[in-house]
Amino acid sequence: MTWVSSTFCNICKGISLACLLGLNHHVWADSSLQTTETNKLQIQPNTCVSLHINQACFVNLKMSWRTAKPNNYCLYSSAQDSPLKCWVASNQGVFTQQFSTDNTLHFYLKLEKSSVVIAASALEVSWVYKKQQKSRLSWRLF
């Protein structure tokens, strides 16, 4: 019985790993440019708090990146297809913009005209009041 459960667990782990690698193959496709310690995309802040669930959260984000080798890089967000900004022959950059979102926003640094992700980061959204209740609306008002 123990052997059966252990085998089952290993199969699950294998499937999970395969799924992860499969879903993110474009991230890891180019081993020479993969996300590493030297390729960094940092965002400040990395969490945005709004009052009520499903409300848009507004944040002024500062994104800074650094790579090991100078190249033409572009910064993307999961909210739009076009790049937020591109840099020519650079190995670092800073970009500031205000965003409003009601769910997690992902940011990617890619080589220009390429789908290879050099570095990634995410802005998490959370709420103070996590249940949508009419009673809370009336209770807060009256």
Partner 1 sequence: MYKLLGYWFALVTLTVILGFTPGAVTAQTSNEDDSSNGGFMEASFAIAAFDSRFVDAPHHFGNVLNLRFNYQWNGFFIEDKGLKGLGLPGIGYNFYSDPAWSFDMYISEVHTSIRVDDSDTINNEQNGLIGINPRKSDNRFGLRATHYINETSALRLLIAPISDLEHHDTHLALWYGKTWQYFNANLYTTFSAQYDNSKTLNYYYGVSDSEASDKFPVYTAGSGITLGAEFGISYPLATDWVLESSIQFTRLPSSAHNSPIVDPKIESIAQISIVYVLF
At residue 36's C-alpha, the angle toward residues 75 and 79, to 5°, is: 25
**Helices assigned H by DSSP within the chain:** 2-23, 25-28, 134-141
CB of 62 to partner 1, least distance (A): 17
Site for partner 1 contains 126 (CB under 8 A): yes
Q: What are the CB-based long-range contacts (under 8 Å, 24+) for 23-32? A: 26/115, 26/116, 26/117, 27/116, 27/117, 27/120, 29/115, 29/116, 30/116
Stretch that binds partner 1, among 28-36, 52-60, 62-70, 74-82 (CB under 8 A): 52-60
Closest CA relative to residue 44, chosen from 95, 85, 10, 2: 95
Stretch that binds partner 1, among 20-28, 88-96, 114-122, 125-133 (CB under 8 A): 125-133
Site for partner 1 contains 3 (CB under 8 A): no
Stretch that binds partner 1, among 4-12, 23-31, 68-76, 126-134 (CB under 8 A): 126-134
Amino acid at the residue 55: Q
Query: 49: which strand partners?
Result: 126
Site for partner 1 contains 96 (CB under 8 A): no
Identify whether the C-beta of residue 120 lies closer than 8 Å to the C-beta of residue 27.
yes
- 35, 55, 78, 114: residue in contact with partner 1 (rule CB under 8 A): 55
CB of 47 to partner 1, least distance (A): 8
Binding mask 9-48 for partner 1 (x = CB under 8 A): ---------------------------------------x
Which residues bind to partner 1, rule: CB under 8 A?
Answer: 48-52, 54-58, 126-129, 131-142
